[in-house]
Structure 1
Amino acid sequence: MRPLTEEQIRSAFVNASKGEAKRASLPDLSAVEWERLDYLGWHDAKRPQQHYVALEVDDQLVCLLMRGAENPPARKMMCGWCEDIIDGVHAASFAVPRAGASGRHGNTLGTAVCADFRCSRNVRRKPTAFEMQTEDEALLAYHREQRILGLVERSTGFARAVMGG
């Protein structure tokens, strides 16, 4: 993912008002390891039920406002974006307002995403013996590449659906 600025992020929200985008608490962008991310996800420190995602859709930056529980229930479910389940980490359910007039009328889409937005790390981890029973580096690299492509496809597909596409 390319490095982002505060201005780029605040101007790229597709399903939040200008006021909501302005009030959003942003993470420390200087501490982000951009080259290891397929999307940037974070929780709003001031509003615990507000969550945000910034990702590239067709070479355009798109930011999404997501609403979820303040303390999501600690149950395992598969992340809809990275399709991973890791011990100790769970996916959380989010309601995402649709963009435009539909969202202003209260219409939302739901998704389950890793509660700590660690999808990019999950798709890059070494597969377990259950997932792949090989030591072939080329095969492992191909598996990782396919998982990364799947994450990008599912996350951008969700963003397109929020935007009405």
Structure 2
Amino acid sequence: NEEISAAPPHQRESMLKACLLSARRILSQKPPKQFIDKTTDASQVSPAELNLVSSWYTSLKLPCPFLYKGLCSIYEQRPLACREHFVNGSAEACKGERGTTEVVEMPVQIPNALAQLAGELEGTSAEAVILPLALVWCEQNPERAERTWPAVMMVKRFFEIVKAMASKNSTAVVA
């Protein structure tokens, strides 16, 4: 958010227009039925369901709204999902183009582990905020940035979650 505010006006306008265009396209599409069903009850969202939302969003082939002249304009503060998205190939993947990169599969998806941790800490279901909608989400949830928890407890629980996910994934591969 700070990088966006500090950007030159024409760059800021470009990013906001891209977010609005992406948001319109997202809202015009029907999300997966399983995702809609989950939003109507208060049950815990699984990593597989978060992946379903991610796959659906990826299938829309939207360019990243934060690309400006082919470069990531929020690189220093890019979301964890972007930081974890290891690819072989060019940066064309951010432009929504298929076949230009090969995603390196990771044994544990860190955003899912963090979503589970956040859900546990906040007493809510894990959430997936689609990138073009993140600015609106932040504006509507300012109090969530003010909450704090003991760092040692958070790190310990985070590693417990990652270990459990890795163990579950390794047994799923063997089975």
Which structure has more RCO (C-alpha within 8 Å, separation ≥ 6)? 2
| TM-score normalized by the length of structure 2 | 0.25
Q: Looking at secondary structure, tell me which structure has more helix per residue.
A: 2
Q: Looking at secondary structure, tell me which structure has more strand per residue.
A: 1
State the structure with more CA Rg: 2
